[in-house]
Amino acid sequence: MSNTEESSDRPVDEQNKSHAGHLRSNSYDRAVSGEHSKINDSIVENPSPKCDKKLSEIKQIDNDIYIIKWIEFNHERVPILLQNVNGPCPLLAIANILLLRQRIRLNPNAGAISTEHVIAMIAEYILQIDTTKLSADDRANYEQNVADALSILPKLQTGLNINLKFNGVDKFEYTRECIVFDLLGIQLFHGWVIDPQNNELQKIVNTNGSSYNQLVEKMIRQKQSNNEELARESLLIEQFLDENRSQLTHYGILQLHETMRDNQLAVFFRNNHFSTIWKNNKQLLLLVSDEGFANHTSIVFETLTDIDNDSSFTDGYGQKWQKPVPVDVSRDHDLAIAIHNEERSQHHEASIQQQQQQQQQQHYHPQQQRYAEEYYCEQSSGKYKKKHRRRSHDEDRDSSCILS
């Protein structure tokens, strides 16, 4: 993947849209997308004093600690951050994408990092966008967007105000918080999409808006209506929300496959939780960021295949993880004892045979003893026949076999 593709997962046409209440010019979009910026080639290892000053002006940051896990990803050794409790934490998902892209880097010997340091590195990455090509008005607008993003960064620890829409996996109601994803070039996805074949529900949703908040308000408003049609619409909405509590539909998974590019990293929103999603070789993979897997270096992703959570673990290359076969220590111990006893018995028998041979050899003349091993007798037609055995390497090679 090229640097441009890697730094901006949001489609160009989506980046160039104007959102109500958030003015963005075309030149600003080009600056963010990388056409006139240096952010594509920027790598942040330590926050600068400028960034520390900016952070000191915003609200207090909870100094939590994230465990660092080093993994193999796309033939590189890279770190990811783990969380010790279940929670929304979009900060974790965003930071892990930047780490996997190697846009922010950690000390190779690091084992943990504070929330404050993570936020400082993300802020530094945002501040590295080159605005020299922007007009004065666009630069002022950009600086305001950066200020908004920096004030939002601490909120990423606990969650974001996200209102998804049911008509597309990349459809969300635009809010102030979305500017963080735009500035970082990270796309946000979900999988709670209504199947177009459900014509009746589609019509209900599209009549009064397609967002989650609008649908819930419509359900509550029409639930006690005397109008039979309105009451029925409320019932259908309630059934849809109840049957899809996982906030994932079969059609949503199909749309994710169609919408995401191969090797694309993005943030996936589901059940008020933000995770890192990666599409690799037609697979949808969710980054395993639970601290309980800190010591399982070969477990990196979890497949997203259906709405029933029938998933499997993979490594950092998307290859299915195989559970190691447990070793039966007691069985190995018993086998070792049996082999040892058998070897000792064989050694004992060999010793006895050797002693018997030595006793027999003492009855021979020294010269006879020399040739005792070379001849044997067999009786044939009432006569004894002596047959020479094959001589060893150390004996006279010119000697011929003697038959008598």
Which sequence positions are flagged as catalytic? 89, 273
CB 41 within 8 A of CB 101: no
With a CB cutoff of 8 Å and minimum separation 6, the contacts of 92 are 66, 81, 83, 274, 289
Find residue 388's DSSP bridge partners. Answer: 375
**Edge-to-edge order in the sheet of strand 65-73:** 76-82, 65-73, 112-114
Angle at 301 between CA 188 and CA 165, to 5 degrees: 25
Q: How far apart are CA 58 and CA 80, in angstroms?
A: 26
Helix intervals (H) in 44-190 = 49-56, 90-100, 115-127, 136-152, 178-184
CA-CA-CA-CA dihedral for 181, 183, 184, 185, to nearest 10: 80
As a whole number of Å, the CA-based R_g of the chain is: 37
Regarding beta strands 301-303 and 313-314, do their DSSP bridges make them parallel or antiparallel, or are they unpaired?
antiparallel
- Residue 35 CA, chain-centre distance (Å), reads 30
| CA–CA distance, 127 with 39 (Å, rounded to integer) | 9
H/E element holding 286?
Answer: strand 283-287
**DSSP run (H or E) holding 146:** helix 136-152
The first and second tokens of residue 54, run together, are 């900016």
